[in-house]
Amino acid sequence: MMTDLTGRTCLITGASSGLGAHFAHLLSGAGARLILGARRRGRLDALVSDIEAAGGEALAVDMDVSDEPSTIAAFDAAEERFGPVDTVIANAGIASSGRATQVPVDELRRMFDTNLLGVLLTAREGARRMISAGSRESGKGRILLIGSMGAQVTLAGEAAYCASKAGVAHLGRSLAREWMRQGINVNVLQPGYILTEMGGEWFASEPGKKQIAGFNRGRLQPIDSLDAPVLYLCSDASQSTTGSIFTIDDGQSL
């Protein structure tokens, strides 16, 4: 299969829950070796155990994407265990909801540090390692940035979050242009609202249920709706795809 990831070594940030944990199971099932980064080490260790029990290979690393030494250390640990990383999914992200006039500045800084600076630090360290390992010759470098449909629509109470994700979208195109001659493809995937731990409490509430009812299909986006594009963008099949932004949101942004 062209989306077979056997032989690939992939680092996933924000892997302790939600989309990151889902992607970990997905890529492991396709044959990739995994480095799983996040700040909640206990959850990472449990995820590694599940993957290994299913016959996969994975390594948990403590990782704060907003801190460059932490990011460098994660890639060092990856290389020590599995060799060079050739695939990166920059998935770590947080939200800080509220009116723009009311969200505390410390929360705003933490969100931008995670959602935008953290994505850049992760992507550029991955690119450095790929270039050093010969991605220019192999053409196998893959970097996938996880954005949000909020990059292209306004979401109530999410002005700063949407701005951070719009930054991710443009960052992806800019990095794709910068690294295309180094054999590295950079793309952006923009999901809609998916039921994960981050939004679970809200969507279980009455206002959250009303929001779901207002979506064009009256539902949250199924998490497995991202499986095919993620496998494609991380695989050799996507050799001619770079600088692209894929909004896959179950029509929520229409």
Closest Cα partner for 123 from 105, 143, 140, 137? 143
Contacts of 136 (CB under 8 A, 6+ apart): 181, 182, 183
Q: What is the rounded CA–CA span in Å between residue 160 and residue 162?
A: 5
How many Cα neighbours within 13 Å face the side chain of 222?
Answer: 5
Residue 138 banded pLDDT, cuts 50, 70, 90? very high
Look at residue 2 in the predicted model and tell me its pLDDT. Answer: 66
**Is 39's pLDDT higher than 80?**
yes
Q: What is the rounded CA–CA span in Å between residue 193 and residue 212?
A: 9
List the chain domain ranges.
9-245
- Side chain identity at residue 175, one-letter code: L
**Is 22's pLDDT higher than 80?**
yes
**Treating both helix axes as pointing N-terminal to C-terminal, what angle do 197-204 and 206-214 enclose, rounded to 10 degrees?**
100
Contact predicate 23/194, CB 8 Å:
no
Q: What is the rounded CA–CA span in Å between residue 169 and residue 109?
A: 19
Residue 24 banded pLDDT, cuts 50, 70, 90? very high
Q: Which pair of structure tokens corresponds to residue 91?
A: 């998935």
Residue 202 banded pLDDT, cuts 50, 70, 90? confident
Q: Please confirm, yes or no, whether 232 is among the known catalytic residues.
A: no
Look at residue 127 in the predicted model and tell me its pLDDT. Answer: 98
Residue 108 banded pLDDT, cuts 50, 70, 90? very high
Quick one: CA torsion of 137, 139, 145, 151, rounded to 10 degrees? 110
- What CATH class does 9-245 carry? alpha beta
Share above pLDDT 70 across residues of the chain, in percent, rounded to a whole number: 98
**Is 1's pLDDT higher than 60?**
no
**Is 245's pLDDT higher than 70?**
yes
**Is 210's pLDDT higher than 70?**
yes
Residue with tokens 């630090």: 121
The tens digit of pLDDT for each residue in 2-11 reads 689 999 999 9
**Treating both helix axes as pointing N-terminal to C-terminal, what angle do 105-112 and 159-179 enclose, rounded to 10 degrees?**
30
**Is 207's pLDDT higher than 90?**
no
Q: What is the rounded CA–CA span in Å between residue 202 and residue 197?
A: 10
Q: What is the rounded CA–CA span in Å between residue 5 and residue 13?
A: 18
**Is 121's pLDDT higher than 90?**
yes
Among 161, 179, 193, 246, the one annotated catalytic: 161
Q: What is the pTM of this model?
A: 0.95
Q: Which pair of structure tokens corresponds to residue 87?
A: 């695939």
Q: What is the rounded CA–CA span in Å between residue 90 and residue 237?
A: 20
**Is 104's pLDDT higher than 80?**
yes
Quick one: CA torsion of 15, 18, 19, 22, rounded to 10 degrees? 80
- Per DSSP, the three-state class of 79 is helix
